Each structure stands twice: as C-alpha cells, then as structure tokens.
Structure 1
Amino acid sequence: MMEASVRKLFERYKRLFNQSLGGDTDMDEVASLYAPEFIGAAPAGVRTGKNDDQFRQLLAQGYAHYRAMGTREMRIRNVHLSPIDDRHCMAHVAWTATYARKDQPDVAIDFDVHYLVQKLDGEEPKVFGWVTGDEQTLLREHGII
C-alpha cells in the first residue's frame, strides 16, 4: 500500500512541476507534497527548512528560474523504493529534464534525486528530505547555463 501511494505522490509531483513550467502553479498544492519541516542535501551543503510562506516564495522563484533557463518538461524514467520501516522510505527517482536552447536542438538530461518520504496514518505521503547531485555542473556541461 505504501508503494502505490508513494508512486502516486511522484506522479503528482511531476504533474505539478510541468504545470509550473507552463506558468500555471498553485503553490499551496505544490507545498502539500512536503512535510511541515524538511532537510535537503546537495554538494553545496545541507539545509533545513519549514513548509511556510517563505518556502512557497522560494518554490515560485525556483520554477521561474527553470522556465527562464528553458526547461520544457520533466519526465520520470523510474521510481525505485527502499523501505526504511512501515512509515518511511527512500524514493530513488530517475528524472529526465528537457531544455530548449537558443539556436540549437532541445537537450534531454538524465539525473537522479533521492527523496525521504513519510506516510503517517490517514495522510498522504510527504517528502521530508532529498539528496541531489551537482545540478549546476550538469547544466554547464550541457550548455544550459
């Protein structure tokens, strides 16, 4: 049961991300994917945050940034779950992002994000953490930034 609900979470995540790329973003709905508090880790370090108005503003800025650099679509190639216990798992999500480039063909870039997910009784699963690779280097290597 947890596996189906976590897969549904990431289908919704993908749908909302793609809507945001078209400029149609409901930040409350996007924020509902996340737990009240969360942790994120990337090569730049580890950060913690709260699911509040400031977070919604950061999400909106992030989506605007993705649109500005030509992000056209996000696709999920695969979701693999590593159970932790009956309420928690690590969701390894393999993404493909498609970018438009000026005077060049679109480019598709594959990358993975590892999400910590919690499913409490009577609630939908929520992301409470994520670990990402070096997005900036990957984008530079492909001529996006």
Structure 2
Amino acid sequence: MEHEVQNLFERYARFFGQSLAGEMDMDEAAALYASDFIAASPAGVTSGKNDHRFRQAMEQGYAHYRAIGTKEMRIRHVRLSPIDDCHCVAHVAWTAIYARKDQDAARIDFDVHYLVQVLDGEAKVFGWVSGDEQALLKQHGIG
C-alpha cells in the first residue's frame, strides 16, 4: 500500500505544479480521486461526486491559487496511518510558496489528511480533512 500511496501523491504534486503553470489535465485530476468523496474543514463537511461539477470546481480553485500568487506547492513528507488492507490516512505535509507584491515570497507549511483507498494496485483519494486555509493565508498577508 505504501508504494501506491507514495505514487499517488507524487502524481498529485506534479499535477498541482502543472495546474499552477496553467496546464491543467482534467482527466489526470479526476484520476486522483474516487468516484465519490468527502471533505472536512472548519468551514464544514461536504460530499461530492467526481463529475463535471467537481472538475469545474477544481479549475476555479487552481485559477484562484494562481490569482493569489501561488508559485509552488511541494510535499515535505507523507506519513501513513493504515486502517485496513485497502484504506489508510495519508498525512501529507505541504509547503506552499506565494509571490507577494513588494515583499519577499511567503513560504507556508501546512498539513492535509487524506483518506485513501487502494484497489487493484491503484490508490485514489476519497476524502480529506484540512485546517482553515483562509485564516492561514490571511495570517501571511495573502489573498
């Protein structure tokens, strides 16, 4: 399971970089996620389907990241908490780099906890839990 999950997040980070460069491959994005998912943050809990609405939301989300000056998103570390033979929580430590007007670039470290399912040798995200992204960006003068 560890190899499949590491591969998933290598693909995820690569996709994020391409998206920040304006080169989004929505088929690749969809392949990272299960057919249905849940998300939780201080803003609430939502659920959704990996469909055209999700793809549109992802396109808008990456456009927003570019608009606020996100230049790079890199993974510092991935730690797994296995649940059973097919499921785990992947604790992913990210570093985001943001360009800011008339200031040095901001470097922000944060964690996201992904629910991952591995079936037939392929890992997919079916959920995630994150902190208050908007508060963290505001704290660093971004957005």
| TM-score bracket, shorter-length normalisation | over 0.9
Question: In 2, distance between residues paired with 1:13 and 1:70?
Answer: 20
1:20-46, CA deviations, whole angstroms, 9 ceiling, x for partnerless residues? Answer: 000000011111100000000000100
Structure 2 counterpart of 1:138: 136
Structure 2 counterpart of 1:67: 66
**What is the RMSD of the two structures over their aligned residues, measured on CA atoms?**
0.6
Identity of aligned residues (%): 70
Structure 1 counterpart of 2:112: 113
Structure 2 counterpart of 1:76: 75
Question: In 1, distance between residues paired with 2:30 and 2:16?
Answer: 11
Q: Contact 2:75–2:94 at 8 Å: present in 1 too?
A: yes
Question: In 2, distance between residues paired with 1:123 and 1:66?
Answer: 31
Question: In 2, distance between residues paired with 1:130 and 1:59?
Answer: 15
Structure 2 counterpart of 1:32: 31
Question: In 2, distance between residues paired with 1:97 and 1:80?
Answer: 18
Q: Contact 2:4–2:121 at 8 Å: present in 1 too?
A: no
Question: In 2, distance between residues paired with 1:92 and 1:26?
Answer: 25
1:103–1:69 CA distance, 2 compared to 1 (3 A): same
- Matched length: 143
Question: In 1, distance between residues paired with 2:82 and 2:126?
Answer: 15
Matched to 1:139, the amino acid is: L
Structure 1 counterpart of 2:92: 93
Matched to 2:89, the amino acid is: M
- Listed as ranges, the gaps of 5+ residues in structure 2 are none
Q: TM-score, normalised by structure 1?
A: 0.97
Secondary structure of 1:104's match? coil
Question: In 1, distance between residues paired with 2:49 and 2:21?
Answer: 26
Structure 2 counterpart of 1:19: 18
1:77-109, CA deviations, whole angstroms, 9 ceiling, x for partnerless residues? Answer: 100000000000000000000000011111100
Q: TM-score, normalised by structure 2?
A: 0.99
